[in-house]
Amino acid sequence: MERRGFFKSILAVTGLAAGALATRSAVAAPNKQKVAYHLTDLDRAQSVLGNIQNHLNGVGGPENVEIILVVHGPALKAFEDISANPSLKAAQEKLKSSKVSFAACGNTLNSLKLEVADLMPGFVRVDQGGVVRLAELQSQGYVYLRP
């Protein structure tokens, strides 16, 4: 009889431990993706913003991903506030409200004789340059995407 009680106790403890482990796994937050999108082509701006929106939708929203769009070269002209396409502005505003970050290459701003204030709201100037910023992000564990 004592032996039977001992085995019941072992089974009960094992069951409690397994239940606690399952509960802990269910409560733990999944790893948040970190993604750096790279945009240089002027004619790809709208498409890339669409890709980013699809990415957000695919992972279940901004709480599951951290996205940074780094823009340099001719593509930066697409985001000049005064002349930007209204649909591009709307897409960028929606992404900004979903916590997507926007980085503008300081070298490109200088060559275009623009200030970050000339761009749509939400951009930050990257003085070290767009490609250097992308390399930094990759070294910090960001996945690099150039759609």
Query: Do the beta carbons of residue 98 and residue 62 sit within 8 Å?
Result: yes
- Nearest to 103, CA basis, from 34, 32, 36, 33: 36
Higher pLDDT, 10 or 120: 120
Report the CATH architecture of 33-145.
Answer: 3-Layer(aba) Sandwich (3.40)
pTM beyond 0.85 = no
pLDDT in tens, 73-90: 999 999 999 889 999 999
User: Which of 34, 42, 30 lies closest to 101, judged by CA?
Assistant: 34
pLDDT recorded at residue 83: 87
Torsion angles phi and psi, residue 78, rounded to 5? -65, -25
Q: Please give the share of the chain, as a percent, with pLDDT higher than 70.
A: 80
